[in-house]
Amino acid sequence: MTQAKKQEVSKQELFEKVPVPKALMTLAVPTIISQLIHLVYNMVDAFFIGRTGNSYMMAAASLSLTLMLMMISFSNLFGVGGGSLVARLIGAKKEEEARRVSAFSFYGAILAAVSYSLLIGLFMDPIMRMLGASDATIGFARQYALYVVVLGALPSILMNTIAHLLRNVGYAKQASFGLSGGGILNIILDPLFMFVILPDGMEVAGAALATLISNVASCVYLLYAFRQATKTAPLGIRPSDALKIGKENAKSLFAVGIPSAMLTALLDVSNVVLNALAAAHSDLVLAGIGIVMKVERVPNAINIGICQGMLPIVAYNYASGNRERMKKTIDTARLYGLSIAAVSIVMFLIFAPGFTRIFLSTGSDAQAALATLSFAALFLRIRCLAAPLQFLNFHTSYCMQAMGNGRGTLIHSIVRQLAFYIPFMYILNALFGYVGLTFAIVAGEGCGALFALWLLRRYLKKVAKQNA
């Protein structure tokens, strides 16, 4: 038996026969590692910017996070939409169609990245003002957005799309290595560009330039890994394959991809509203919120890694008709994620001041820095209560994406953000100020989780009736 055939059988056994906890961890652990390292190198920017003690630089980096989330949205459009469809097609033994879908996702991501880069480059200042940039922060925000978004959209969106596609055919280790390698490189380059190569006052630009170089390096490796994977897995990279995707498969891709992108885009809209309402209180409140949003991304990254590891197993077994294994995978992933969320609540309640001080030094403008840290510790202790609720929203959304239920995913995304979270922000901010604004995520995610669980239960009953 050839090496390629052995590898193919191994991937099939992983999806069909390996015990669910082991199969889930086989795909989830590399994904969690890459999520954490990818997160670390994003947080490293905030960490080193925080060493300056400049709260306005920190606020500017928080504003730029919104633009970066939009890039993740485009990655999800083609990576999650295409990747989940590829897994279902493999489960249905339609490998040639899977190859065409992956090629379409690859070139779609390139087109989306170039378009987004041009948009931000042409309208950067009005977009930054809309996001809440003040005269004190807009200059720093421009520095970051130029390198990370205008110049960096293509490598960032493409590398994340490729990573999704690789994971969904069982190549989680290659995806993890590509994303993790870029993260490690960024950790090395950040202090070099910020404090050695570029002059004082250009620390934000230095952090952004280091991120750009790291993303380019990750993208180059993942392009190589994707090219190699096409030799043994049903993945395609030829333009001719992309053009042959077929109407039904394109429809299925966008049916899941658009809701997945909307999930991130609406989260981005919520962050725009949050930043605007926080900035209306003061730049220091905005900086404090920005710090907390970075700290809380650690448990979220772990839980998203669990969900991304779960998705291809659920998608494959949904398509192959093995409902028992599919449901066991869903339940196991839910248990793991809720456990992580519970631990994070305890840690953040106890050690909130220590976690927030990681991201801001008190050496430069001590009065402003201490006020920012005081806000951040308070906000973290409140927002961490939403951790299990956020996981239930992530988990349910990924389950519906895996089963091709784009409509349910879209409805959940819209209701979660537009009907619950954003209205709660305005109402609680008006009633209780920035404390109420912080509590809005607990109320919004709680209502969203209840709605999500109802949607998933309803869809599973529908699937069971169809099978019967």
User: pLDDT tier at 393 (50, 70, 90 boundaries)?
Assistant: very high
User: pLDDT tier at 113 (50, 70, 90 boundaries)?
Assistant: very high
Output the CA–CA distances (angstroms, integers) from residue 1 to 9, 229, 331, in the order listed.
Answer: 10, 18, 36
* pLDDT at 438 (0 to 100): 92
Output the CA–CA distances (angstroms, integers) from residue 273 to 27, 132, 276, 451, in the order listed.
Answer: 35, 9, 5, 22
pLDDT(43) > 80: no
Total domains in the fold of the chain: 1
pLDDT(7) > 80: no
Could you give phi then psi for residue 425, rounded to 5 degrees?
A: -60, -50
Output the CA–CA distances (angstroms, integers) from residue 180 to 7, 41, 418, in the order listed.
Answer: 23, 9, 34
pLDDT(68) > 90: no
**Amino acid identity, position 201:** G
Find the domain containing 349 and state its range. Answer: 3-467
Q: What is the pLDDT of residues 295-353, one digit of tens each?
A: 888 888 898 889 988 988 998 888 888 888 999 999 999 999 999 999 999 999 999 88
Rounded CA-CA distance 256/261 in Å is 9
Residues 6 or more apart from 391 whose CB is under 8 A from it?
300, 303, 337, 338, 340, 341
How many alpha carbons lie under 13 Å from residue 65 in its C-beta half-sphere?
Answer: 29
pLDDT(271) > 70: yes
pLDDT(51) > 80: no
Instruction: Read off the pLDDT of each residue in 1-14 and give the average, rounded to a whole number.
Output: 54
* pLDDT at 236 (0 to 100): 87
Rounded CA-CA distance 305/378 in Å is 28
User: pLDDT tier at 37 (50, 70, 90 boundaries)?
Assistant: confident
Burial class (CB in 10 A: 0-12, 13-18, 19+), 272: middle
Give, for 396, the enclosing helix (H) or strand (E).
helix 387-402
Sign of CA dihedral 249, 256, 396, 235: positive
Vertex 50 angle, CA 127 and 158, to 5°: 50
Residues 355-393 as b or e (16 or more Cβ within 10 Å = b): bbbebbbeeebeebbebbbebbbbbbbbbbbbbbbbbbb
295 closest CA partner among 9, 95, 39: 39
pLDDT(123) > 80: yes
Worst-scoring range by mean pLDDT, 15-24, 59-68, 102-111, 447-456? Answer: 59-68
- Percent of the chain clearing pLDDT 70 (strictly above): 92
Rounded CA-CA distance 127/133 in Å is 9
In this structure, what token pair is assigned to residue 363? Answer: 């050496």
* Count of other CB atoms within 10 angstroms of residue 200: 8
| DSSP reduced 3-state for 1 | coil
